[in-house]
Amino acid sequence: MSGALPARASVVVVGAGYAGLTAALALRDAGVDVVVLEAADRPGGRVWSVPHPRAHAVDHGGQWVGPTQTRLLALADRFGCARFPTHDEGSHLELWHDGTLHEGTSERDSTAPGHAEYAAAVADIEALAARVELDDPAATPDAERLDATTVASWLDGVPEVARPRLALAVQGVWAVEPRDLSLLHLAFYVASAGGWDQLMRTRGHAQDQRFVDGAQAPALAMAAHLGDRVHLSTPVRAVRDGLVETDRGTVRAERVVVATTPPAARAIVFEPPLPAPRRRWLERSVMGDVAKIHVVYDRPFWRADGRSGQASLYTAHDLPGVVFDNSPADGACGVLVAFVYGDRLRTWAALAPERQRAALLDTLGRLFGAAATRPTDLLVQDWVADPWAGGAYAAVPAPGAWIEYGEHGWRAPSGTVHWAGSETSSLWHGYIDGAIRSGERAAAEVLAALDHPARGQEDS
Ligand SMILES: Cc1cc2nc3c(=O)[nH]c(=O)nc-3n(C[C@H](O)[C@H](O)[C@H](O)COP(=O)(O)OP(=O)(O)OC[C@H]3O[C@@H](n4cnc5c(N)ncnc54)[C@H](O)[C@@H]3O)c2cc1C
């Protein structure tokens, strides 16, 4: 996958994440001469499954798929990538902000307070989401006020008892703090996923299933299918009048699809320069802060205690925001995955490595008992340190950005440069499924621009 670069190709795709690979596969299936240039030494981007002797495959990035994420499911089926249900049986824990521990079979029936108030606030968000224009959020009724309102200031108006759950939801889904997110982007994202529950819940929703061999499996299969059209360890530095410049040479192309995160796109030099709205949009698109920590045990001991392994922590001083059972499909060992994001990640990053580990295990011990303090392995992936993603899960436009630059800057092609990436999708924006949809859209744009008839998919 990393041979000599061709001197020219009809289309160059920048980035071999799900968006870029999907665009390339659609173009290849249509008979277009396409080349994928990927900076990292692996395909998959923000989805990265690492083999583990006991946990089979550890998903350091995106991992879950839900029933309405139909493009990812179709891709997985095309390449025969097996899935299994996320472990969801048993009681979930809630560590309330006063330090008391609560249990319930869902976040709606735990013994912690505030369920009715939370449900009422969610209903308000759903009402906003129902009005969002998915293909042009800036055209949503009342968009200017919604984009000028941060979720933090909106939270000031909801009953205090509902705020911990809503704040944790924002941190958990966007990996930012409520002060970083506008009400318009929140409503857009909820609409994009098909509702609040789709984002938050497990069975039947976004966290429904996992991939037996890790969520990178379909990306690896796509890259293998594209074969020597994919060039790894080939960072693109500039796109000058159709000449794509990399660390390993240049490729001349009629069209270029840039399928990176917004900060990674910003780091590429474009000549002619990108139109001002696109440049400003990229500058205002800020990646979230998240680390994903896998803690491996001999067995999933919490299941025998009637626990699901899921926990939500509302205490500001505890490092993870949520914990899930991430044990492998074959049950060869037990795995808990802890998500550390936003302010919590900044606190974590300031600690010495041994303090980081001790703080995390102390919290897991309080949740699941002393056995949780004795893992056999602990693996940390801090996405803020990833040179090509620049953060995760996705970019969040700064408050006001949709109104100021969304209409012209979000995803409209810039001359012969087309834009893909999960951040450019109307549906499942920020998710793998959204990345795939964006790749399909960009490929369709390119085919139309090249006046190339779309062909049916080839099987080879
Ligand atoms: C911790 C974490 C948990 C997540 N959980 C889920 C989940 O459970 N379910 C879900 O659906 N989604 C999840 N996501 C989000 C999901 O992973 C992303 O939305 C999706 O993978 C984005 O795909 P993409 O192709 O748009 O971008 P990317 O995957 O970021 O791909 C962009 C590619 O471009 C490359 N690149 C960057 N700059 C250059 C350059 N100059 N030249 C060449 N190549 C370049 C990068 O190396 C990368 O491979 C999660 C993400 C993270 C990090």
The pair phi, psi for residue 112, each rounded to 5°, is: -75, 155
Would the CB of 268 count as within 6 Å of ligand 1?
yes
Ligand 1 within 6 A of CB of 23: no
Owner of token pair 């499996």: 217
Residue 389 alpha carbon to ligand 1 centre in Å = 7
**Residue 386 corresponds to which tokens in the numbers above?**
């990833």
Predicted pLDDT at 32: 98
Q: Is 260 in the pocket of ligand 1 (CB under 6 A)?
A: yes
Q: CATH assignment of 205-211+289-385, given 3.40.605.10, 3.30.43.10, 2.30.30.40, 3.90.660.10?
A: 3.90.660.10
* H helix count then E strand count, the chain: 17, 21
> 337-340 — which CB contacts under 8 Å span 24+ positions?
337/292, 337/293, 337/294, 337/295, 338/292, 338/293, 338/295, 338/364, 339/172, 339/290, 339/291, 339/292, 339/293, 340/290, 340/291, 340/292, 340/293
Q: Which portions of the chain are predicted below pLDDT 70? A: 1-2, 107, 454-460
Q: Is 166 in the pocket of ligand 1 (CB under 6 A)?
A: no
Atom of ligand 1 nearest to the CA of 64: 8
> Rounded distance, CA 420 to CA 134, Å?
16
- Cβ(15) to ligand 1 under 6 A? yes
For residue 381, which atom of ligand 1 is closest to its CA? 1
Cα of 431 from ligand 1 centre, angstroms: 9
What is the C-alpha separation between 343 and 177, in angstroms, rounded? Answer: 7
Can you read off the two tokens belonging to residue 351?
């600690």
Q: Is 222 in the pocket of ligand 1 (CB under 6 A)?
A: no
Q: Is 262 in the pocket of ligand 1 (CB under 6 A)?
A: no
Tens digits of residue pLDDT in 387-427? 999 999 999 999 999 999 999 999 999 999 999 999 999 99
pLDDT of residue 459: 34
Residue 61 near ligand 1, beta carbon < 6 Å: yes
Which pLDDT does position 458 carry in this prediction?
38
| Number of Cβ atoms within 10 Å of the Cβ of 349 | 14
Contact assessment for residue 20 and residue 13, using Cβ atoms and an 8 Å cutoff:
yes
For residue 235, give the nearest of 212, 210, 268, 211 by alpha carbon: 268
Report the CATH architecture of 8-45+215-286+396-449: 3-Layer(bba) Sandwich (3.50)
Domain boundaries, given as residue ranges, for the chain:
8-45+215-286+396-449, 112-200, 205-211+289-385
CA of 112 to the centre of ligand 1 (A): 35
141 CA from centroid of ligand 1 (Å): 31
pLDDT at 453: 74
Give the pLDDT of residue 2.
64
Residues 315 and 263: beta-carbon distance below 8 Å: no
**Over the stretch 117-147, which tens digit does the pLDDT of each residue have?**
999 999 999 999 999 999 999 999 999 999 9
Ligand 1 contacts CB of residue 259 (under 6 A): yes
Tell me, using a 6 A CB cutoff, whether residue 219 lines ligand 1. no
**Closest alpha carbon to 341 in 355, 357, 363, 323:** 323
Nearest to 296 by CA among 270, 258, 335: 335
Rounded to the nearest whole angstrom, what is the distance from the C-alpha of residue 374 to the centroid of ligand 1?
32
Which architecture characterizes domain 112-200 according to CATH?
Orthogonal Bundle (1.10)
Query: Would you state the pLDDT for residue 345?
Result: 96
